[in-house]
Each structure stands twice: as C-alpha cells, then as structure tokens.
Amino acid sequence: MRVPDSVLVTGGAGFIGSHATRYFDNLGSAVTALDNLSRTETLASTSVSRDTAGYNWTYLREHHPNVTLIEGDIRDFDLLKEVVQNQDAVIHTAGQVAVTASLEDPRTDFEVNARGTFNVLEAARQAEVNPAVVMASTNKVYGDNVNRIPVRERKTRYEFGDPEYKAGVPETLSVDDCEHTPYGTSKLAGNLYVQDYAARGIVDAAAFRMSCIFGPHQFGSEDQGWVAHFVISAIKDELLTVFGDGKQVRDVLYIDDLLRAYHAFLADPVGKSAIYNIGGGPSHTTSLLELLDLIETVYGLSPSVEFANWREGDQRVYISDISRVNAELNWEPTINLDTGIRQFIDWYQNR
C-alpha cells in the first residue's frame, strides 16, 4: 500500500493516536503528533497512575525522536490550520472519549468532538495540498436504536435475536428517532460533517465507527477502555465495578488491525465510503463475564468484582457488521482476543 509522505495525528498521545504515530513513523512517514494532554483532567475515573497520554507522550519522545510533538488543542483553529498545511494525511483521534464525562459537561464535549472535527475538516479543506482525513468515531452514534434490536439472554451473554443482524450492526442502522447521549450526539455531528465534505468532494474523508479497540499503551478506566481496565484491575488486584449484569457483549479489535484499516483508506481514499463500522465483527466477541472468566482461567488472575446499576447509554449488545470495510478496503481482523490480551499483559508487566 502507498505510504503517506507526511501524517498529522491529532490526539497523538492517546491510545489510538500514539499507535498511529508509531505505525506511520515506522513506515517512514514524516509524522506530527498533536495533543493537549488533558486526559486525567477530563476523565474523573482516571488516576495519575493510569495517565495514558502522559505515558505515551514520554514514550514517543524517547523512542520516536523523528516525530514532531506539538502540545496543542484542536479547538485552536489557527494552530490546526498551520500544522495541517503540507500534510499528506490526517488521522483525527483527538476527542472527548467518555459518555460519563459528556453527561457531566456536554458543552466541552460538543466543543471538542463536534467543533474540533469541523476544525480538522476545514483545515484540510484550506490546505494547499489535499490531505485525506480519517476520523476515529464510535458506535455510540446509533444511540438507543441499538437497544431496539431484539436480544436473547444466554447464560453468560446477550445476543441479537433478529436474524437481520446476524452479521452485526450495519452502517445503515438509523440514527434518528431515539435517545442519544451528548457524547454520541457530538460524535455523530462530526460524522455528518465528514460525510458532507466527502460527498461534495471537498475532502477525501472517512469516519470509522469503532467498537472496542484494545492493546498495549492503553491504561483504561471505568469510563473508557474497558478491556484494558479489566486486565489491569486483575493484575493489580483492585476492586472492579461491573455496571449492569455483565452479560453485555461487544466485538473487540486489536489496535494493529485497526491501523491496517486506516492505512488502507489513506492509501487510496478516492471513491471510498465516508462511514465504516469497524471492530472484530461476529467472530471476535466477548461479554464482560466471559472476559473475566478468560482472565481467571487462562492467566490465573481473579479480580474482586462488585456489580452496580446499568449506566445511561449502555448497550446490551453491539457487534459491528464489517462487510463494508472488508469489501472496500480488503480488510479483516487477524488477531484474536486471547493473543491480544497476552500481548497486552506482556507490555504492561514489562513496560
């Protein structure tokens, strides 16, 4: 695949952003990472010991000296316009990342996710070159319509009860006439701008509506990054809170597989869709209870667990239909949950 000559990664100190920075630096792109390093300030459940941004910023500085690191904010349009100039590609991962934080402070959530994404697209539109843009989005854009899909309850998980969704949730699921959280709404607004700019041929852009992405360099918390949060809590023998009954199901995707999809779009973005659902798909799923059992039976780690009420905006089942990304980008997941967790544990214990 064609490798972009230069890449800007917004949110470059975050979990996905730092991996994208490393990925394209290793391929030889001239990479610039932009981040405001605000994670521990915006997520109440994130302690200093789990400061993903702080850890990754230091890691990039020490291990990827060719990367240009800029401490800045996507809400600063003048700065963004300056750093987007002459970029071959933009990977937009900066954002407010948690439903819980959006409920407490919806204005900041809007400013970062909706206006911030608009700023990225406008900066790309005004650039002298024509950078392609990838936006890291979320399945939360579908709101409560996901919970309107009938489900069946099994011993350790829920599953979709409607055969129409055997392959998962497609990009065509309605986003209308249902309850949304501020987080889902702000990300959806960004998605709509991506689709508009792409449809009018202004910017070659795509929003990837992600399910659960996991891997090394992610510390996780109750608010975001639940796979990492569960594993770290087990390793450190910390009390773990499960919201709901633990039977909720997600498809999980290892970070390296996600980056291959981003690369596939950026290598040849012309004529591609502007929206992709992406995750592990039906063959890479787990419930919370099943993950806890895997952590205990395979790795011998048994965290203390307490249960609490369901949280607003939670979905009993979400599985991505990855048919579109498979067909258009010739992509499919290659790393299963067990392999991914082994690699995560190796990183965490040896970091």
Cite the active site residues.
Answer: 183
CB within 8 Å of 164: residues ≥ 6 apart: none
Q: How far apart are the C-alpha atoms of 189 and 313, rounded to whole Å?
A: 17
Using CB atoms within 10 A of its CB, is residue 70 exposed (0-12), middle (13-18) or buried (19+)?
middle
Q: How many residues does the chain have?
A: 351
User: Is 16 in contact with 256 (CB distance < 8 Å)?
Assistant: no
Q: State in Å, rounded, how far the first CA of the chain is from the last one.
A: 31
